[in-house]
Structure 1
Amino acid sequence: MAKVVVHLFHGDPDSLSAGSHVAERVRQVAADQHVELEIYCFGPAQAALNGSDGDAVVTEYNDQLDALIAAGVPVGTCRNAAEAAGTEEALRKRGFVLQYARDAFVRYALEGATVIGF
């Protein structure tokens, strides 16, 4: 089985919107195509998980990731960054998998995953 990782890094509206939508679109065909999907949020995209402050794009981004988690897609964030920001418990409660970025990226390489960045 092939693996696709959608790596969400940039925090600009286009990256948040496109990255989360592409992840959902891949999810829709993953089982039929025998593809395992995983999402990893890091950097500014991880910071956007902290709330929207009324920003519709950030709200939609968070809603989309929550829906992916509810659909059973593993969505990870950097444990070190979450600990530093004091968001570790809140992210875990939402269902995010906390893993050090170094470990996640090495694992993706060992698994032969295709990583798509936004």
Structure 2
Amino acid sequence: MVQSLNTKVDLVIEATALTGFTEYGKIMIGDKGFEFYNSRDSRKYIQIPWEDVENVIASVLLKGKWIPRYAIQTKKNGNYIFSSKEPKKVLRAIRKYVEPNHMVNSLSFFDVVKRAMQSRFKKK
């Protein structure tokens, strides 16, 4: 069994981790960090202490009505992408521990295309 980082838990919710293969489990948000535990295999888990979180990136669609997924960017280990039924609850719980200027929206499809075009035709 895995030892939890948290001493106090704020939110536990069903979620999906989008890492290579889709993994179903539970997200636990507490005072020490963000944790994901796989529901089938107890050896598959993700624990991210709050000190290691660089940014929280939310994919916002339809002017904030729908958030299909969110990612946690860490200082050392890259990005972890998650999806849950109630992402606004999760992001509000994360907001208690991560500074608001480190919670950002992801780029839209058109922003990505615009950046690609600008870099392609940029003068050297």
Taking structure 2 as the reference length, the TM-score comes to 0.31
Higher share in helix: 1
Greater relative contact order (CA < 8 Å, ≥ 6 in sequence): 1
Q: Which structure has the greater CA radius of gyration? A: 2
Higher share in strand: 2
Taking structure 1 as the reference length, the TM-score comes to 0.32
